[in-house]
Structure 1
Amino acid sequence: MRDSHPVGTGIEAGRRRRVRAAALGAFAAVLAGGIALAAFGGTGDGGGQETRQGPGGRPPSASPSPTPVWDRHPESLAAVGDSITRGFDACSLLADCTRVSWATGSDTGVDSLAGRLLDDPSGDSWNYARSGSVMADLPRQMKRAAGREPDMVTVMSGANDACQPTVARMTSVDDYRESFREAMRTLRKESPKTQVYVASVPDLKRLWSEGRANPMGERIWRLGICQSMLRDAKSVTEAAEERRQEVYERVVAYNRVLEQECAEDLRCRYDGGAVFSYRFTEAELSDWDWFHPSKQGQRKLAELAYRRIVAD
């Protein structure tokens, strides 16, 4: 698969079947320019009806809840979200590397979701994620993805909503929910039968805990990565602990939103908190920023997604 799929191949393709310390100065300059770096990490299907009296005053048999519509073998796939899905900092410093994307990558060492699911991953998958994006950007990405009418769309978005300069600037839970709803409405209007796989937001506190012992990682974090969580990485003051806990709780709330909203759509499947719960190791974090997934980390994301998508 190419590092990016051309957009101009038309709707017909969709209908067919889905990157070190030597560069710290550059890193700081880009961060100052406003690039937000993303980070790593059950559903219920509802619907009931009021019971009415049947003939003879007897209640009729209870109507079953709507059955989720889920095809475990999609033929095309589009990805939306942030820098994790773009493979940012997995191959080289401050660069996307979509060939190792967990969702649409072509690198056999990653064995992406598209590679596992599709007969023709290079022709039938598209990556519309953008590094630095937040949930408010998802509706626009979803509109582009819907234009392909893919069998499935993957969503991983929310780390940047929590990774802000201060906790006060984190996206509110209400705004996060409304943006996700708008993205889903956009998809359903443009491509009503497309399935949606929603990955949970990674546990940013777990990533802080894993990377803070690395001197180089701590040095890089000082340049501006996810300051709501990573500022003063070695501090154990009450204020620092409270700040990290507030970020943690916001991520938990975001994931609750994803679970609840996905449960309202029969063609949506949440990962059940798999990404949030996974204990990423140092080897699964980027050698460039100790925060984004490395190639190994991308492979693990693909494994988690595939397992959930093909489950009964």
Structure 2
Amino acid sequence: MVAKIAFVVAAAVVWTPLTAAAAAADPAPVVMAALGDSISAGFNACGWYVSCTSRSWSAGDDTGVNSHYLRLLALNPEIKGHGLNFAVPGSASADLVAQAQKAVAAKAGYVTILIGAQDACVDDEEKMTPVPVYRARVDRAFAVLATTGAKVFAASIPDVKRLWRLGKDNVVARSFWALGHICPSMLARASSDAKKDRARRERVRDRVRDYNAEMAAACAAYTPGCRSDGGAVFDYPFTLDHISRWDYFHPNADGQKALARATFKTGFPWDATVPLTRESSAAGG
């Protein structure tokens, strides 16, 4: 009996980690889709007030950015040409369901979501999307994606207050924010140190943090499989060198590259040895 128990224990030690590792790894997908707003659309990453999807941190094909799509392409050549981008500049959480429906129609096996900056970046902080409404919209989008069992990566919203701190003493940045009416809930009266303005900025930052918490919770509740970034985007120590000089708000190519790097390592442990094929993907529904 002692020998038998010893054998069982030894087998558990040898095989359990390998089995868990195998179960944790997922076949690299053949179709992926980016959902979200101007950040995922690569807005102002390569031109004057235009989307630049090639430089998207998620589905772009610019080798300098090395997006999720390109990293997956290195694992599974079957995904070539199928890094789709349904993100739209100006989108808020209210637009996420429609984007999720497009991802489902495209049979995306992997979907990235980064949404919420526009829910907080409004004319007046009173117009910010209520947290329960944000969560309900995210849940509806996840329910749409669940119909196909797509793997989902949920990124946190960047810390817009950090951007304010970096640019508040830069006259060019302040000019762009004021003239472009960029995220006024946070960036209006950028040079003001008045108590009411300090309090306003903190309330907006708190709302973004609440959105991030709700996105992470929705991700955790998503049955087929979701990974959140654990706040990697919100906590990322970006500088003005990561920000587009076209508006001093959106990530430039270097910023998109930093987003790709910071998020991919917090995502799924894709298994390069068992790539998904178009045939197996179709067979699985």
**In the alignment, what sits opposite 1:5?**
none
1:32 corresponds to which residue? none
User: Deviations along 1:168-218, whole A, 9 cap, x unmatched?
Assistant: 0000001100100110111123x1x21000000111101111122221111
Deviation track 1:252-291 (CA, whole Å, cap 9, x = no partner) reads 1001101111111241111100000001111100011111
In the aligned structure 2, how far is the partner of 1:123 from the partner of 1:88? 21
Alpha-carbon contact 2:26-2:269 (below 8 Å) kept:
no
Task: Map Cα deviations across residues 20-51 of structure 1 (whole Å, 9 max, x no partner).
Answer: xxxxxxxxxxxxxxxxxxxxxxxxxxxxxxxx
| Whole-angstrom CA distance in 2 between matches of 1:116 and 1:157 | 22
Aligned to 1:9: none
Aligned-partner residue type, residue 162 of structure 2: R
Gaps in structure 2 of 5+ consecutive residues: 1-22, 271-285
Of residues 80-89 and 112-121 in structure 1, the stretch that sits farther from structure 2 once superposed is 112-121
Query: Which structure shows the higher helix fraction?
Result: 2
Counterpart Cα distance in 2 of 1:203 and 1:262? 20
| Aligned equivalent of 2:98, options 137, 140, 143 | 140
Corresponding residue for residue 230 of structure 1: 187
TM-score (norm 1): 0.75
The answer for unaligned runs of 5 or more in structure 1 is: 1-67
- Which residue in 2 is equivalent to 1:117? 72
User: Of residues 204, 208, 218 in structure 2, which corresponds to 1:247?
Assistant: 204
Q: 1:268 aligns with which of 220, 226, 236?
A: 226
Does the Cα contact within 8 Å between 1:102 and 1:302 map onto a contact in 2?
yes
SS state of the match for residue 265, structure 2? helix
Take 1:183 and 1:157, find their aligned partners in 2: how far apart are those partners? 11
Answer with 72-81 or 208-217: which moved more.
72-81
Letter in 2 for 1:91: C
Distance of 1:70 and 1:254 partners within structure 2? 29
CA RMSD of aligned residues (A): 1.7
Which residue of structure 2 lines up, in the alignment, with residue 79 of structure 1? Answer: 34
Structure 2: distance between partners of 1:72 and 1:248 = 37
CA contact (8 A) 1:72 1:309 kept: no
**In 2, Cα distance between the equivalents of 1:231 and 1:125?**
36
Match for residue 49 of structure 2? Answer: 94
Contact 1:129 1:141 in 2 (8 A): yes
Alignment of 1:159-198 (within 5 A): 159-189=117-147, 191=148, 193-198=149-154
**TM superposition shift of 1:70:** 5.8
CA distance in 2, matches of 1:305, 1:145: 20
Amino acid at match of 1:222: A
With structure 2 as the length reference, what TM-score do the two structures score? Answer: 0.82
**Counterpart of 1:296?**
254
